Amino acid sequence: MPDKKLQAMVQTIDLTKRFGKFTAVNNLNLSINKGEIFGFLGANGAGKTTAIRMLCGLLKPTSGKAIVADCDIMTESECLKQRIGYMSQRFALYEDLTVRENVLFYSGIYQVKQEQALATAETMLTEMGIDLKDKALTKSLPLGYKQRLALTCSLLHNPQLLFLDEPTSGVDPQARRAFWNVINKLADAGKTVIVTTHFMDEAEYCHRVLVMQNGETIALGRPGELKTQNKVDNMQQLFLKLVS
Residues that bind ligand ATP (CB under 6 A): 19, 22, 24, 42, 44-50, 89
Instruction: Mark residues 24-53: x for contact with Mg ion by CB under 5 A, - for none.
Output: ------------------------xx----
Distance of closest approach, residue 242 Cβ to ligand ATP, in angstroms: 14
d(CA 153, CA 124): 10
Return the residues of window 127-166 that contact Mg ion according to CB under 5 A.
none
Distance of closest approach, residue 98 Cβ to Mg ion, in angstroms: 29
120 interface partner picked from ligand ATP, Mg ion, none, CB below 5 to 8 A per type? none
64 interface partner picked from ligand ATP, Mg ion, none, CB below 5 to 8 A per type? none
d(CA 224, CA 55): 26
Q: Which helix (H) or strand (E) holds 164?
A: strand 161-165
Q: Do 214 and 46 meet the contact criterion of CB atoms below 8 Å apart?
A: yes
47 interface partner picked from ligand ATP, Mg ion, none, CB below 5 to 8 A per type? ligand ATP
Burial class (CB in 10 A: 0-12, 13-18, 19+), 1: exposed
Is the CB of 107 or the CB of 154 nearer to Mg ion?
154
Phi-psi region for residue 111, left (φ > 0), alpha (ψ -120 to 50) or beta?
A: left
Q: Count residues near Mg ion (CB under 5 A).
A: 3
d(CA 212, CA 205): 18
Closest C-alpha among 217, 169, 191 to residue 207 = 191
Return the residues of window 49-108 that contact Mg ion according to CB under 5 A.
49, 89
Does 168 interact with Mg ion (rule: CB under 5 A)? Answer: no
Distance of closest approach, residue 169 Cβ to ligand ATP, in angstroms: 9
Binding site for Mg ion (CB under 5 A): 48-49, 89
